């Protein structure tokens, strides 16, 4: 029997019949002026997603992302304005946004792009083609690339493989940055049951991370906002699984995952001999047990809402794997570029040095960000809709949860991805206007002196669009 390659084990989940219909929402998007009420209802009822299943193929029947149905239901039946409907820029838009963009808190030369998402018409801009360091707003590009390459129904597997005979089992990482101890325990349950059926009571455990290539460490070096990028990790490599955001991470996510898995197998009555060690699945190995991530639609939403760097880097590498590129930082950047070029997006000056935006060598323009949002709103590309539904909601969720108060006209109406590095602040997303227009916007500021001053300045720009 020929040797089973890691990618074959990692992608075997695609053949499993685990998807069922969750209902279709045609060309769904938060289009009308009921969005404020809808967002409030959704925010109040929001619960962790991940149990939803979807029915492929995406182009024929793609449901909205998991958090979207309650939002869309509250919006009623109003659809997007047609391309031939009047799309005149709101009166006074330039007079309103110009002075706000000129706020000294936004540095010497901030850029902006504002478009009508139903028609693609540019409503206002300043330096829209100028490449800028985007910080975490680059995650919008990562999300679009991953969804276009893999589809919203794709699930990332973590597999235990073993040859037909012998006592060696291999924990094979498929690149799931959302794997937690609960799902790892489920994998241990399934593995123990399969081994008992074979009459195996003792095993030697290895762990295989060969799906990914290149260095584990991000170019910025060790950082509490990102674990070493490995194809196998549990709880995002956090030393304390209860932590979120910036936290102490293990230097060896795969090794730690294998150690936890060995303990779980022992708790289930199996004897694990020796210390878990790195090693590819042996020749003739076949999947013995497997667990899957939530659908990619839910993973993308989680990544965007919470600005999760570990998931972002995982999605960039998943894009590389899906498109035949080397699954390292450089290969992931090329894969993202390839996918966006296929979508006809304006990539002049763009650079994707990573998937998360932590690398200051990243470059995107405000025009590219709004073009990405327009693709996600395109009724002909429903597979990209999670990019819109995953954006944080001003005053309610994710990284915008505390940035707008009840008095702001943008509260509940602005949905946007935030971006912050030292001296870099950005905001890109959508806003529903009183006349039923869905506007896409991007504001990029480099050379800012204080995030505490730059963020409110960006928020005022987005809130002005809501008026």
How far apart CA 143 and CA 76 sit, in angstroms, is: 27
- Based on DSSP, count helices (H) and strands (E) in the chain, helices before strands: 13, 10
Q: 161 and 132: one domain?
A: no
- What is the predicted pLDDT for the residue at 324? 96
Mean pLDDT of the chain: 83
Residue 57 domain-assigned (yes or no): no
How far apart CA 369 and CA 427 sit, in angstroms, is: 10
Phi, psi for residue 363 in degrees, rounded to 5: -140, 130
Residue 220 domain-assigned (yes or no): yes
Number of C-beta neighbours around residue 135 at 10 A: 28
| Higher pLDDT among residues 343 and 43, named by residue | 343
Residue 83 has pLDDT above 50, yes or no: no
Residue at which a domain ends, from 264, 292, 320: 292
Which CATH number covers residue 213?
A: 3.50.80.20
Domain around 257: 157-292
Q: 373 and 404: one domain?
A: yes
Contacts of 268 (CB under 8 A, 6+ apart): 188, 189, 192
Cβ–Cβ under 8 Å, residues 19 and 294 = no
Candidates 67, 230, 307, 356; catalytic one? 307
From the list 292, 41, 282, the residue with the least C-alpha distance to 170 is 282
3-class secondary-structure state, position 55: coil
Residue 20 domain-assigned (yes or no): no
Residue 239 domain-assigned (yes or no): yes
Residue at which a domain ends, from 245, 270, 292: 292
Q: 337 and 438: one domain?
A: yes
Cβ–Cβ under 8 Å, residues 415 and 30 = yes
Omega prior to 216 cis, within 30 of 0: no
Contacts of 217 (CB under 8 A, 6+ apart): 228, 229
Residue 458 domain-assigned (yes or no): yes
The mean per-residue pLDDT over the stretch 323-336 comes to: 97
Element spanning 271, H or E:
strand 271-278
Candidates 67, 113, 126, 136; catalytic one? 136
- What is the predicted pLDDT for the residue at 13? 31
Q: List, in sequence order, every residue forming a beta bridge with 126; answer none if it has no partner.
A: 112
Residue 37 has pLDDT above 60, yes or no: no
| Higher pLDDT among residues 42 and 398, named by residue | 398
Catalytic residue status for 307: yes
Phi, psi for residue 438 in degrees, rounded to 5: -105, 115
Q: 147 and 120: one domain?
A: yes
Residue 42 domain-assigned (yes or no): no
How far apart CA 327 and CA 416 sit, in angstroms, is: 29
What tokens appear for 460 in the block?
Answer: 């005022």
Q: 312 and 451: one domain?
A: yes
Residue 163 has pLDDT above 90, yes or no: yes
How far apart CA 214 and CA 349 sit, in angstroms, is: 25
Q: 428 and 344: one domain?
A: yes
What tokens appear for 210 in the block?
Answer: 């060969």
| Higher pLDDT among residues 427 and 35, named by residue | 427
pLDDT confidence tier of residue 392, bands split at 50, 70 and 90 = very high
Residue 444 has pLDDT above 80, yes or no: yes
Q: 306 and 256: one domain?
A: no
Residue at which a domain ends, from 248, 276, 292: 292
**Length of the chain as a residue count:** 467
The mean per-residue pLDDT over the stretch 169-195 comes to: 97
Residue 49 domain-assigned (yes or no): no
Q: 423 and 354: one domain?
A: yes
Candidates 139, 148, 356, 426; catalytic one? 139
Q: 364 and 456: one domain?
A: yes
3-class secondary-structure state, position 12: helix
Q: 413 and 368: one domain?
A: yes
- pLDDT, one tens digit per residue, over 235-256 is 998 988 888 878 889 999 999 9
Number of domains into which the chain is organized: 2
| Higher pLDDT among residues 4 and 410, named by residue | 410
| Higher pLDDT among residues 296 and 433, named by residue | 296
How far apart CA 164 and CA 198 sit, in angstroms, is: 9
Q: 312 and 445: one domain?
A: yes
DSSP state of 125: E
Which CATH number covers residue 394?
A: 3.40.710.10
Q: 194 and 246: one domain?
A: yes
- pLDDT, one tens digit per residue, over 203-246 is 999 999 999 998 998 988 888 889 999 999 999 989 888 888 78
């Amino acid at each position: 029997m020929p040797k089973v390659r890691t990618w074959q084990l990692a992608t075997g989940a695609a053949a499993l019949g685990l998807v069922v219909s969750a209902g279709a929402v045609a060309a769904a998007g938060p289009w009308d002026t009921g969005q404020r009420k809808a967002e409030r209802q959704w925010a109040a009822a929001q619960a962790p997603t991940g149990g939803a299943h979807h029915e492929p193929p995406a182009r024929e029947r793609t449901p909205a992302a998991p958090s979207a149905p309650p939002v869309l239901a509250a919006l009623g039946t109003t659809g997007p304005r047609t391309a031939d409907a009047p799309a005149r820029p709101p009166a006074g838009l330039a007079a309103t946004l110009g002075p706000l963009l000129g706020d000294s808190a936004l540095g010497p030369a901030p850029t902006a792009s504002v478009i009508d998402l139903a028609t693609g018409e540019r409503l206002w801009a300043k330096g829209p083609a100028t490449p800028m360091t985007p910080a975490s707003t680059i995650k919008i590009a990562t999300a679009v690339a991953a969804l276009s390459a893999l589809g919203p129904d794709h699930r990332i597997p973590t597999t235990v493989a073993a040859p037909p005979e012998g006592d060696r089992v291999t924990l094979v990482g498929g690149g799931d940055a959302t794997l937690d101890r609960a799902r790892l325990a489920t994998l241990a349950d399934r593995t123990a049951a399969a081994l008992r059926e074979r009459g195996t009571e003792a095993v030697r455990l290895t762990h295989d991370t060969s799906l990914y290539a290149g260095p584990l460490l991000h170019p910025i070096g060790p950082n509490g906002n990102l674990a070493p990028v490995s194809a196998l990790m549990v709880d995002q490599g956090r030393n304390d699984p209860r932590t979120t955001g910036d936290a102490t991470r293990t230097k060896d996510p795969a090794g730690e995952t294998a150690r936890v898995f060995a303990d779980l197998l022992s708790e289930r009555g199996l004897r694990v001999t020796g210390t878990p060690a790195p090693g590819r699945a042996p020749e003739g190995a076949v999947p013995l047990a497997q667990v899957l991530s939530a659908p990619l639609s839910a993973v993308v939403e989680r990544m965007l809402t919470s600005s999760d760097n570990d998931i972002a880097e995982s999605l960039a590498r998943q894009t590389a794997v899906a498109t035949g590129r080397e699954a390292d930082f450089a290969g992931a950047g090329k894969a993202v570029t390839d996918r966006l070029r296929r979508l006809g997006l304006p990539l002049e000056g763009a650079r994707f040095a990573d998937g998360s935006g932590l690398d200051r060598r990243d470059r995107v323009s405000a025009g590219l960000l709004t073009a990405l949002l327009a693709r996600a709103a395109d009724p002909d590309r429903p597979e990209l809709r999670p990019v819109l539904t995953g954006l944080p909601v001003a005053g309610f969720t994710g990284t915008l949860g505390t940035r707008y108060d009840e008095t702001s006209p943008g509260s509940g109406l602005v949905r946007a991805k935030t971006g912050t590095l030292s001296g870099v602040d950005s905001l890109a997303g959508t806003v529903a206007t009183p006349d039923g227009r869905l506007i896409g916007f991007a504001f990029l500021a480099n050379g800012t002196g204080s995030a505490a001053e730059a963020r409110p300045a960006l928020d005022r720009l987005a809130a002005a669009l809501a008026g």
